[in-house]
Amino acid sequence: MTPVLVAAGKNIKSVVGDKGIDPVSMLRPCRKIRGISAILLPFQENGDPDWAGFSAHVKRTVSAGLAPAVNMDTGYAHLIDDATRTHVLELTRAETDDFVAGAFVGDNPGERFNGDEYLRQMENVQSYGGVPVIFQSYGLTGQNEEDIVSGYAKLAENSAGIIGFELSDVFAPFGKIYSLDVYRGLLDIDRLIGAKHSSLNRELEWERLRLRDEMRPDFHVFTGNDLAIDMVMYGSDYLLGLSTFAPDIFARRDAAWADGDPAFYELNDWLQYLGFLTFRPPVPAYKHSAAMFLKLRGYLDCDDTHPESPGRPDSDREILRHIVEQFPQR
C-alpha cells in the first residue's frame, strides 16, 4: 500500500474508527457495478413534457448499459399526476424490460400509513414490468420502528421484488434516515432486494455496507450520494440523479473500475465536479441543470424545467458548456 493511501486510511479511521469502520479495508477493486440512472423528464417551452426527448434519453441510457429509473425525483415524481406517471411507464417499457420506477404516495404530516395506495402505485409499476422503488411518506416514516419494518414487509409480499429508499429530510420533509436496527430489519425482508441511501453521509453508508456484508451480501446498497459518487469503490451500487447528465460517461467510469483501469479516477473526478456544481442549494434545481446540460450536449431542444420546480441562473450555462467541452474523450 502506498504511503498516501496509508495516510489517507489513518485520517479516515480517525473519524470513524470508534465505530470499528475501516474504509480502506472495504475497498472492492475490479467489482462489477450495478448502475441505475434516474431519467430526467424534459419539458417544452409550453410547459408540456417533451415525450420524444424523454424516450430518446431512456434509449441512450439503456444503450450505455445502465438501467433507467423513472418517476423518481429527477422525473418530478411529487409534481406529476397519475396519467403522466403511466405514460412514462409506457414509453419506458417500449425501450427496455430492465427498469425501476418510483411508487410515490403523497400525504400530509400526521396521516396514517396508506398501504393500499402504495400497493396501487406498485401494481401500476409492475404491470409494465418495472421494479417499484418505495418512496417515503409522512405515513410511512412517522410510524414506530417496528411498524416501519412491518410496512415494508407487507409491501414486499405483494411483489417479486422492491427497492427501499432512505431520504434525508434536507431533500424532502417526509424523508427519514433509519436507525441501524430498522436497516437490520429491512435486510431480513427477502423480497426487498436493495435500498437507496441518500443521507449524503459516507459514515452512515459505510455502516450499511458493513451490515449488508455481514447479513446479506446479495442485497444492493444503492448510493444516492451525488456528492460522493466514489462510494462505488467500497461496495455500493448506485441510483443517482447525477447520472442523468451523462449515463454514457458513468458507464465508461464503471467499466474502468471493473477492469482495474486508472481511467476510472479522471472520469470520476469530472463527474464529481459536475455534481458539486449542480447539486448546490437549492438542490431540487439540479433538474434544471440537467436539462441545460443535455441541451448543450445536443440531446434536448429546450432546457426548461417543470413550472413548479426551482431553476438555475442563465450564467450556469457557460460553466456547464465548459464541462461539456472538457469531458474526457475516448
Q: Select from 46, 40, 50 the least CA-distant residue to 301.
A: 50
C-alpha grid cell, residue 285: 434545481
Work out whether strand 192-198 and strand 237-240 pair parallel, antiparallel, or are unpaired. unpaired
CATH architecture of 32-244: Alpha-Beta Barrel (3.20)
pLDDT, average across residues 70-83? 96
Q: Select from 255, 293, 300, 298 the least CA-distant residue to 273.
A: 293
> Which class for 251: exposed (0-12), middle (13-18), buried (19 or more C-beta within 10 A)?
buried
Distances (CA, A) of 99 to 38, 57, 73, 226: 10, 13, 15, 20
CA gap 214, 198 in Å, rounded: 21
What's the pLDDT at 170?
A: 76
Beta strands in the chain (DSSP E): 35-38, 67-70, 100-103, 131-134, 162-167, 192-198, 220-223, 237-240
What's the pLDDT at 16?
A: 53
pLDDT, average across residues 235-258? 98
Residue 20 has pLDDT above 90, yes or no: no
The letter for the amino acid at 330 is R
Question: What pLDDT, in 10s, does the model give residues 104-122?
Answer: 999 999 999 999 999 999 9
CA gap 164, 263 in Å, rounded: 32
What's the pLDDT at 297?
A: 97
Question: What pLDDT, in 10s, does the model give residues 175-232?
Answer: 999 999 999 999 999 999 999 999 999 999 999 999 999 999 999 999 999 999 999 9
Q: Confirm whether pTM is higher than 0.85.
A: yes
DSSP H stretches of helix in 143-246: 145-157, 180-187, 202-215
Q: Select from 291, 244, 245 the least CA-distant residue to 45.
A: 291
Averaged pLDDT of the chain: 93
b/e for 89-123, b at 16 or more Cβ within 10 A?
Answer: bebbbebbeebbbbbbbebeeeeebbbebbbebbe
CA gap 120, 103 in Å, rounded: 9
> Is residue 14 very low, low, confident or very high in pLDDT (cuts 50, 70, 90)?
very low
Domain ranges of the chain: 32-244
> Is residue 3 very low, low, confident or very high in pLDDT (cuts 50, 70, 90)?
very low
b/e for 64-83, b at 16 or more Cβ within 10 A?
Answer: bebbbbbbbbbbbbeebeee
> Is residue 51 very low, low, confident or very high in pLDDT (cuts 50, 70, 90)?
very high
> Is residue 19 very low, low, confident or very high in pLDDT (cuts 50, 70, 90)?
low
